[in-house]
């Protein structure tokens, strides 16, 4: 087949998408990813400038009658739903080549990406997410709809970090009381035993899946996960899973999980009963969470101290797969807004741990294919970083290294190896001593010995932005105070680049030719920003298998060499 014939066979999605039934025109924007039959893009209404997610399916994939029927059933069910915790359906239309579904845009991706970045969550976070999930599922069940594919990848997050249940491709209506569905469907790690046993299933399968989700969020992996599908299905049928020792300390969480993961469907509680479970009332349930919680553990010590709860705060510091429990000590002030947290581990060792992890991953990337221009759908936007350095200034000949993150928070690494960060709300201040001990203040409640450093922070901020810092106090939300951003913990400058390591393990390398790399070892992905500021994220596995541009390959090779050199220097410091 010639290239012309191939183009005719596979028409491209147009840049301007027109709904002829309403006259609405959408501009196709960023590619969000693909899955199953569909590709997803950001689309913007040209009249209102409102932004949506466009789920786009080629009609060539809907040639069989059952495929059309399945898609129309998904549309029919989804368009009937209106709930805060379900992705909003806005409409659908088609043209000769594609079917377009217009949906609510969830910019913070799915909870699968949250899981990959954080591994395990704290109990307050699990209460927050599970309650919203259950409210959405309760709404579905009250409308006689079973979702049948509840999993982390189908739970989306909007800008306010609110749960939105999506992808109703396997959803089904219960037409009459006692009806049991018999279709074999679901995702292996979340599928209920009655589906595998083909005994017929109903609403209880969603309760089972929520039990698997809750276990995964608290433990870091699904309860029945094995290396083979056969073994996983065997464990599900036998209802065979283990409660790890750390989780056993949380009695109400264990009881709730066990109530959902029962082999006999009739023994599982209803969603309404689950919402009244003591797990939701036995500890703090945050009304909101900061965006930073998608990559760093929130600071629940602040809220718990203020509420005088008589239990240890769950401020589990998170970095990769290493989870430590930290308890706040007394700060320099008796104010409840001041907390001191001991360092998680030796800072040099922490730095080496992150660098080693990145080098090991990059060493496996040796693509045999060099591409002039990688295809758009070769990228994986779901893996793109949440935080990166948007501006930096090197004033280390006098004071230190200043930077601004993409969320407008600002930090400085001083020449004495202390660090200070002013969060996006321009009220909360985090200070890190040379040994890594963290102290938390508000801007109006910093100790006198930090006065000079606060002034220098303001100086760096003025230098990096076009306007002065805002004066006056802003209204603080709980999620602002809970935030713990991935500050820059280490930097290095050479003649070719500036290298910056963030506290969550992300490595950013800004080359002097204006190319940039952002490497996330947790997502095993690399983001390349070229001179034209084109922003593309690729999984390392995709680069290895399908190749990459010569420019990106050169950047990766340089970073490998530079990191090995820095690791050697760090080892010399430690006397290894």
Q: Which residues pair with 316 in a beta bridge?
A: 325
What pLDDT does residue 466 have?
57
Using only C-alpha atoms, the chain has a radius of gyration, in whole angstroms, of 25
Instruction: Using the predicted structure, report yes or no on whether residue 435 has a pLDDT greater than 90.
Output: no
Instruction: Using the predicted structure, report yes or no on whether residue 322 has a pLDDT greater than 80.
Output: no
Containing 44, the helix (H) or strand (E) segment is strand 38-45
First to last CA, the chain: 60
Structure tokens that stand for 174 in this block: 């219960």
Instruction: Using the predicted structure, report yes or no on whether residue 332 has a pLDDT greater than 50.
Output: no
In tens, the pLDDT along 239-268 reads: 999 999 988 889 999 999 999 999 999 999
**Mean residue pLDDT across the chain:** 86
In tens, the pLDDT along 357-406 reads: 999 999 988 877 888 777 777 888 889 899 999 999 999 999 999 999 99
Q: What are the backbone angles phi and psi of residue 509, rounded to the nearest 5°?
A: -125, 115
Containing 132, the helix (H) or strand (E) segment is helix 123-142
Instruction: Using the predicted structure, report yes or no on whether residue 5 has a pLDDT greater than 70.
Output: no
In tens, the pLDDT along 301-320 reads: 766 555 543 344 333 333 33
Structure tokens that stand for 69 in this block: 């029927």
Compute the average pLDDT of residues 108-113.
Answer: 95
What pLDDT does residue 317 have?
31
Instruction: Using the predicted structure, report yes or no on whether residue 279 has a pLDDT greater than 70.
Output: yes
Cα 302 off chain centre by = 23
Q: Cα separation of 10 and 379, whole Å?
A: 19
Packing angle, helices 204-219 and 123-142, rounded to 10: 170
In tens, the pLDDT along 460-503 reads: 988 887 543 333 344 445 567 788 889 999 999 999 999 999 99
What pLDDT does residue 468 have?
36
Delineate the domains of the chain, giving CATH numbers in brackets: 16-103 (3.30.200.20), 109-280 (1.10.510.10), 347-395+445-469+485-573 (3.30.1120.30)
Residues 6+ apart with CB under 8 A from 49: none
What pLDDT does residue 326 have?
30
Q: Cα separation of 455 and 463, whole Å?
A: 12
Q: What is the pTM of this model?
A: 0.87
Tell me what percent of the residues of the chain surpass a pLDDT of 70: 87
- Check if 10 is active-site: no
Q: Cα separation of 383 and 523, whole Å?
A: 6
In terms of DSSP bridges, do strands 339-341 and 438-442 run parallel, antiparallel, or are they unpaired?
antiparallel
* pLDDT bucket at 574, cuts 50 / 70 / 90: low
Q: Cα separation of 261 and 154, whole Å?
A: 20
| Residue 485 and residue 423 in contact, taking contact as beta carbons nearer than 8 Å | yes
In tens, the pLDDT along 187-218 reads: 899 999 999 998 899 999 999 999 999 999 99
What pLDDT does residue 555 have?
92
Structure tokens that stand for 412 in this block: 């400085």
Distances (CA, A) of 24 to 12, 41, 133: 20, 17, 33
Distances (CA, A) of 400 to 396, 466, 468, 574: 4, 21, 20, 23
What pLDDT does residue 177 have?
85
Structure tokens that stand for 520 in this block: 């996330």
Q: Cα separation of 357 and 371, whole Å?
A: 27
Task: Pick the closest to residue 296 from 318, 313, 315 (CA basis).
Answer: 318
Residues 6+ apart with CB under 8 A from 301: 313, 315, 327, 328, 339, 341
In tens, the pLDDT along 513-556 reads: 989 999 999 999 999 998 888 889 999 999 988 888 888 999 99
| Residue 99 and residue 92 in contact, taking contact as beta carbons nearer than 8 Å | yes
Q: Which residues pair with 155 in a beta bridge?
A: 165
Task: Pick the closest to residue 504 from 372, 350, 390 (CA basis).
Answer: 350
Compute the average pLDDT of residues 546-573.
Answer: 88
Strand, helix or coil at 37? coil
In tens, the pLDDT along 58-105 reads: 988 888 878 888 899 999 999 999 999 999 999 999 999 999 999 999
Q: Cα separation of 315 and 260, whole Å?
A: 27
Q: Which residue has the tokens 């935080």?
A: 387
Task: Pick the closest to residue 250 from 345, 113, 125 (CA basis).
Answer: 125
Q: Cα separation of 215 and 220, whole Å?
A: 8
Strand, helix or coil at 193? helix
Task: Pick the closest to residue 387 from 350, 345, 424 (CA basis).
Answer: 424
What pLDDT does residue 331 have?
33
What pLDDT does residue 557 have?
92
Q: Which of 94, 95, 149, 466 is catalytic?
A: 149
Q: Cα separation of 222 and 163, whole Å?
A: 19
Q: Cα separation of 396 and 314, whole Å?
A: 37
Q: Cα separation of 321 and 304, whole Å?
A: 26
Q: Cα separation of 418 and 434, whole Å?
A: 5
Compute the average pLDDT of residues 30-47.
Answer: 89
Compute the average pLDDT of residues 444-455.
Answer: 92
Q: Cα separation of 328 and 347, whole Å?
A: 19
């Amino acid at each position: 087949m010639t290239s012309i014939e191939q183009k005719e066979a596979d028409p491209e999605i147009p840049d301007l998408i027109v709904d002829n039934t309403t006259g609405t025109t959408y501009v196709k924007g960023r590619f969000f990813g693909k899955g199953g039959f569909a590709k997803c893009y950001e689309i913007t209404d040209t009249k209102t400038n409102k932004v949506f997610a466009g789920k786009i399916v080629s009609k060539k994939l809907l040639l069989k009658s059952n495929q059309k029927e399945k898609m129309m059933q998904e549309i029919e069910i989804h368009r009937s739903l209106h709930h805060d915790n379900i992705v909003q359906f806005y409409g659908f239309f088609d043209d000769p080549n594609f079917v377009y579904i217009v949906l609510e845009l969830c910019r913070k991706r799915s909870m699968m990406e949250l899981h990959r970045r954080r591994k395990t969550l704290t109990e307050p976070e699990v209460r927050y997410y599970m309650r919203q999930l259950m409210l959405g599922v309760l709404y579905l069940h009250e409308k006689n709809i079973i979702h049948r594919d509840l999993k982390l990848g189908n739970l989306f997050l909007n800008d306010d970090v609110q749960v939105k249940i999506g992808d109703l491709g396997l959803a089904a209506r219960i037409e009459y009381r006692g009806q049991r569905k018999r279709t074999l469907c679901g995702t292996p790690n979340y599928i209920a035993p009655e589906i595998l046993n083909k005994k017929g299933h109903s609403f209880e399968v969603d309760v089972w899946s929520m039990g698997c989700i809750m276990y995964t969020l608290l433990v870091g992996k699904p309860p029945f996960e094995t290396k083979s599908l056969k073994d996983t299905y065997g464990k599900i049928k036998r209802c065979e899973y283990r409660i790890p020792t750390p989780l056993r300390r949380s009695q109400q969480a264990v009881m709730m999980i066990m109530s959902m993961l029962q082999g006999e469907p009739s023994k599982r509680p209803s969603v309404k009963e689950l919402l009244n479970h003591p797990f939701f009332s036995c500890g703090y349930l945050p009304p909101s969470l900061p965006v930073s919680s998608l990559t760093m553990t929130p600071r629940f010590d602040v809220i718990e101290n203020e509420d005088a709860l008589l239990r240890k705060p769950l401020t589990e510091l998170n970095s990769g797969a290493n989870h430590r429990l930290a308890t706040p000590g007394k700060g320099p002030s008796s104010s409840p807004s001041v907390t001191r947290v001991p360092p998680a581990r030796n800072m040099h060792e922490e730095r080496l741990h992150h660098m080693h992890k990145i080098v090991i991953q990059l060493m496996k990337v040796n693509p045999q294919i060099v591409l002039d221009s990688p295809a758009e759908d070769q990228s994986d936007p779901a893996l793109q970083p949440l935080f990166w350095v948007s501006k930096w200034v090197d004033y280390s000949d006098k004071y230190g290294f200043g930077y601004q993150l993409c969320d407008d928070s600002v930090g400085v690494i001083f020449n004495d190896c202390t660090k200070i960060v002013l969060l996006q709300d321009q009220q909360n201040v985090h200070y890190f001593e040379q040994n890594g001990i963290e102290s938390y203040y508000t801007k109006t409640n910093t100790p006198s010995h930090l006065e000079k450093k606060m002034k220098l922070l303001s100086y760096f901020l003025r230098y990096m932005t076009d306007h002065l810092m805002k004066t006056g106090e802003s209204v603080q939300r709980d999620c602002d105070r809970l935030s713990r951003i991935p500050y820059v913990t280490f930097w290095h400058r050479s003649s070719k680049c500036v290298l910056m390591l963030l506290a969550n393990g992300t490595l950013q390398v800004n080359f002097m030719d204006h190319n940039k790399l952002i490497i996330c070892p947790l997502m095993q992905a690399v983001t390349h920003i070229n001179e034209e500021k084109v922003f593309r994220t690729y999984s390392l596995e995709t680069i290895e298998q399908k190749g990459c541009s010569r420019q990106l390959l050169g950047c990766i090779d340089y970073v490998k060499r530079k990191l090995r050199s820095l690791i050697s220097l760090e080892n010399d410091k430690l006397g290894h």
